[in-house]
Structure 1
């Protein structure tokens, strides 16, 4: 069996290294200190993992203590692990304060001060609670230190964009009385600001950090263990064995592999570095141009965070914000997510048809049953996780914890089985398994630093909004949209894309949901119809994810183009055209709540909605890509767009023709007829052309 991905050429190898460098830009560049100081971050990382596993099993702590300790670990690892600047300096003062190979004195001090400031609310919990609203001088000093060190940690890990937004909101708190007209705000005192932001659970220690500490950590750790154990490569081989022989097979395999990997990676760029190193060269090998190969991987990896049942960190925060079970978020996101992936399959099939591509020869592909059996142990913990979330509907943290325990057991048992089968030392293989677990702890903790810091910094913005700015912002956004719900949605989408260029998905969602989700609901009510709060939050979530590949800054496109050796901006533009099929879905489910299964509890009804949503998305993809069965004629594009509207908004068509809302599903019939009509027209034309 020949595996093309096992022997990358020099150009591809160099591209992979560039992609990894770009991935490090997303999460910051870890320094590599020599000597004993090199063990500080790994020891802290393992300690963080053990603490998190303890609170989910035997250690009972109040929620505020958990958030405080969680943030303290993240802050300490940040200042010990991240240099002050991402650029390497070879001489002068900058090299002194930001060396890549040692921890300078200033960072030792910053690490201890930041950890102490984060732990202050836990150390003096009773005193802080008794003085709530009337902080003493010590409270204010530690509160200010927490804000300052957190902003510096955010700058190092996430970049300057989130810091600028947080500082702007903070400044607005104090400068509000001096602002003109509608922007005027009564302002606040330092005492009230510190109480809200640093000493309560309404700011830094709010819901986003709580979700990071109680839920997200376990999924990130679980993903790191799967990756270290080799699951990423297994998913790609399994997808290749199933789909590699079909037309455009490697691209279809890339979609499946990226979806499986993206469910647990939580990062579009990390997903590309994991799966794109295999799939992009394969797509190029069957004839996809480098730009399109990279763009397909970008689109697939970006949507990985949408894929239920394990979505990105923001999905857990949605559940907490709305006080609903996580399974309800999965239910709401299921049809848009799966319809988006189905349309991406359609797009890569269209691209293969345009280029006249075929799949890989079967002899070059791994055999399905052999591949399935070789890594079936990777599917067991995923099965446990899905079962725990969907059947008994246990909490996400309990489901993830049990999946981790199963995966740990599998890693240990596998080591013993390999040793006995090969006639080698059991002790040696158990030591290797133990090393893999420790490496997973370190990798998982390092991956979590960005999430913990970003959610904490976003808590500053949320805290400021809840101090009284929320109503003002809702009125301001409503005024900007002039009460027009469609304009309101366009403003939110564009703002999410722009903000998401500099922020991680989770932070983008938190900021935009805090500012615009209530406004969307408010403007919808002004227009005479209800917008479920779930729909408003998912709208912000979807566009926060799409920002990952939006030119000119999308890091996902830069990483994929490095592997494919294509131009990043054209790659990003191509990926964005593929992602248009995802971008229309939030606009549709704001108006058609059936798409998020709002008040839909019938499985046949849900399947009907899903099937018609797929047809609508296929039609939209064909219209935007210029191809259905063959190349579109100009008059066929509006017909395909009409199919999209009918299948996505049967309620709107029903209202136009005077059909009662309860009978809206009958509108699917003319949509399907029109779809088939365009198909027949193009098939006849293609037959005439070929003859």
Structure 2
């Protein structure tokens, strides 16, 4: 049992994160190169803070400086081949140095020649063309290093489509872009690399990643674990519920499913295994919970900030966070229900009183949640997102001063700035690559063509269109970051759903959901594989168990498309309460069926009836709800009667013989 009680060291955690999360696989530079990278990251954060406080520069300048910082630092910190990292005196290759210098040149080009470029009205000089072409190549290579090969390949395919579209068959054909027109669109307009995705990265996303870095420095991450134990530790199967609760909270400060899995899983997975959960199930609980952290408001994944810009129509980030609240609660309720039934099935207990930490001590530190409460209140009050993030960072710093253990001095402040910038590198690369894809889609009209093609393929019916969109999002999400996945699917697939009369917010949240849960969907389930690494489990089986636990995420998006009331869109309180109630009952029925246990072990026929009951309850129609409710009550009564009879049968005979 000794091996299952062992928790991962911090170094082992970092190795696992780097293995499964491309954005975390950085070099450990020392000496002069270490100082260059350190001060480069610090300068990156200071630039972003300056523009957040005093106002952003002109779009092209703000975005190219942001891009220049990100690209140059990526070529310093991310090796071209992770298996052949250089060590010793020369820690980077000569071409890494050249690429970093070229990146600085690209980042400085718009600020240096802004007036000339604006006056040229789209006419490119030879130097403009060369710089623009280099920028495209640098973005593609930086994306490969920092984000992964899949998204780089997709971007290259779109570039080739833009250049050679006249040779494509059928509705995919277009006139084709010349190389000069392609370069102009990609780097000298705000329709390509410097488009909306990079704009959001250079403003909102960076500040929230910085906010997350400050929260980690104040000890909020560890506090989430302690608070979760205090709330859920004594319950049946307590450690699994601790994992669910802590991972949902960790999602507010971590933009990476893999990082969330490893950091909180290093603590929760050994606890679950020690209690008696199978290692694959323990890893699956952590993977499903950690991935769902990006669905949990108030701070969702980076893609949620992009959604504000992509939907437009005056929608705010708070509108998105508010709409996502009930689906997120239902998602975690589904995982909670299934871990509860699994714990009952195998007879697991909660933590004993002796194993529990002091609740009084934990709740005495509840003030550590003030920064998150601040951001919720500010967003509700309509404060713009950048200012809400800045004020919340300030509150996090002030909160850290209350306790000597968490107090941030100048050194901790600087390190938080550096770590915030480091986490932003992968996002910047992903959004720049996504800008290439969006630019091609816009210039060629591909988005509308594919949307119409998707609707035609589905015969004009909504459910088949949703299913095809789900499959596309899951495939694109295999190994790709949520940010890039969302940009592609929202550009290509979401319009198909909107064409069928679905509200914009429902359509965008639909593709957002499936882009995120791709991290736990086999055959490529990076978050589940990372959890398997922590648990010492078989990766594919962990991925299958993760997908089963996250079954709510495969159902709920269909519900809020068919019934936007779940997103609080034009919903009365009565409709909202009814939808939530029936959905929770449906998740209980489905959860019991998947685990195969409710109040007792279930027969296969009972499991089928429970699944039918659950789906009917979740489907937002009054007739289906009533039918599902009748089946639910019947199955509950059957379970209850059996349990009562069984308890009476097993009750020891207390009669005293005379």
Contact 2:330-2:552 at 8 Å conserved across structures: no
State whether residues 434 and 484 of structure 2, in contact with CA within 8 Å, keep that contact through their aligned partners in structure 1. Answer: yes
Q: Secondary structure at the match of 1:265?
A: coil
1:339 counterpart = 2:296: no
Task: Name the SS for the 2:62 alignment partner.
Answer: helix
Q: Report the TM-score when normalising by structure 1.
A: 0.89
Asked if 1:298 corresponds to 2:302, the answer is no
Spell out the pairing of 1:60-75 with structure 2 (5 A cutoff). 60-75=56-71
Contact kept in structure 1, 2:5 and 2:270, CA below 8 Å: no
Q: Deviations over 1:582-636 (max 9, x none)?
A: 1111122222222222212x44543333232222222222222222222223333
User: Counterpart of 1:212?
Assistant: 201
User: Once the 2 structures are TM-superposed, how far is the Cα of residue 537 of structure 1 from its aligned partner?
Assistant: 0.9
The 1:486/1:650 distance shift into structure 2, 3 A limit, reads closer
Per-residue deviation, residues 124-146 of structure 1 (Å, max 9, x unmatched):
22322233432222221111010
Q: Distance between the aligned counterparts of 1:176 and 1:669, measured in 2?
A: 52
Structure 1: distance between partners of 2:402 and 2:351: 36
Quote how far apart the aligned CAs of 1:490 are.
Answer: 1.9
Gaps of 5+ in 1: 90-94, 419-428, 525-529, 655-666
Change beyond 3 A, Cα 1:410–1:9:
farther
2:477 is aligned, of 500, 524, 527, to: 500
Asked if 1 retains the 8 angstrom alpha-carbon contact of 2:122 and 2:188, the reply is no
Unaligned runs of 5+ in 2: 650-658
Report if the CA contact (8 A) 2:224-2:246 is conserved: yes
CA apart distance, 1:228: 2.6
Residues 76, 111 of structure 1: 8 Å contact kept = yes
Superposition RMSD in Å? 2.2
What is residue 376 of structure 2 aligned with on the other side? Answer: 386
Quote the offset at 1:69 in angstroms.
Answer: 1.4
Which residue pairs with 1:580 in the alignment? 551
Residue aligning to 2:137: 148
Measure, in 2, the Cα distance between the counterparts of 1:510 and 1:608: 33
CA-to-aligned-CA distance 1:517-553 (integer Å, 9 cap, x gap): 112222x2xxxxx211211111110011111112222
Distance in 2 (alpha carbons) for counterparts of 1:475 and 1:612: 34
Partner residue in 2 for 1:353: 344
Q: 1:99–1:125: structure 2 CA closer, same or farther, 3 Å change rule?
A: farther
Change (3 A) 1:16 1:81: closer
Q: Is the 8 A contact 2:269 2:286 kept in 1?
A: yes
The answer on 1:77 being equivalent to 2:73 is yes
> What are the superposed Cα offsets for residues 467-514 of structure 1, whole Å, 9 maximum, x if unpaired?
022222223323433433322222221221122112011111111111
- The answer on whether the counterparts of 2:4 and 2:273 sit within 8 Å (CA) in structure 1 is no
Contact 1:88 1:100 in 2 (8 A): no
- Cα distance between partner residues in 1 of 2:353 and 2:173: 68
Displacement of 1:349: 0.4
The alpha-carbon distance between structure 1 residues 9 and 101, as it changes in their structure 2 partners (threshold 3 A), is farther
- Secondary structure of 2:493 counterpart: helix
**Residues 1:20 and 2:2 aligned together:** no
User: Which deviates more, 464-473 or 124-133?
Assistant: 124-133
Aligned-pair CA distance for 1:62: 2.4
Aligned to 1:662: none
Q: How does 1:644-663 map to 2 (within 5 A)?
A: 644-651=614-621, 653-654=622-623
* Counterpart in the other structure of 2:232: 243
Counterparts of 1:99 and 1:621, CA distance in 2: 54
User: For structure 1, which segment, 12-21 or 38-47, has the greater mean C-alpha deviation from structure 2 after superposition?
Assistant: 12-21
1:579-598 equivalences under 5 Å are 579-598=550-569
**Counterparts of residues 28-47 of structure 1 (less than 5 Å):** 28-47=24-43
Query: How many residues get paired?
Result: 643
| Alpha-carbon separation, structure 1, partners of 2:513 and 2:423 | 22
Shift of 1:410: 2.7
Alpha-carbon distance between aligned partners in 1 of 2:574 and 2:416, rounded to the nearest angstrom: 42
Aligned-pair distance for 1:122? 3.1
Deviation string 1:20-66 (CA, Å, 9 cap, x unpaired) is 32311311421223321211111011111111111121255223322
- 1:191-236 CA-to-partner distances (Å, cap 9, x unmatched) read 2212221111111111111111111111111111222332111111
Q: 2:126 aligns with which of 112, 124, 137?
A: 137
Which residue number in structure 2 is paired with residue 659 of structure 1? none
In the other structure, the counterpart of 1:676 is 633
Q: Aligned to 2:367, which of 377, 386, 390?
A: 377
SS at match of 1:202: coil
Partner SS for 1:631:
coil
Q: Is the 8 A contact 1:16 1:563 kept in 2?
A: no
Bigger shift: residues 184-193 or 18-27:
18-27
Match of 1:173 in 2: 162
Structure-2 separation of matches of 1:357 and 1:484: 46
Contact 1:500 1:544 in 2 (8 A): yes
Taking structure 2 as the reference length, what is the TM-score of the superposition?
0.93
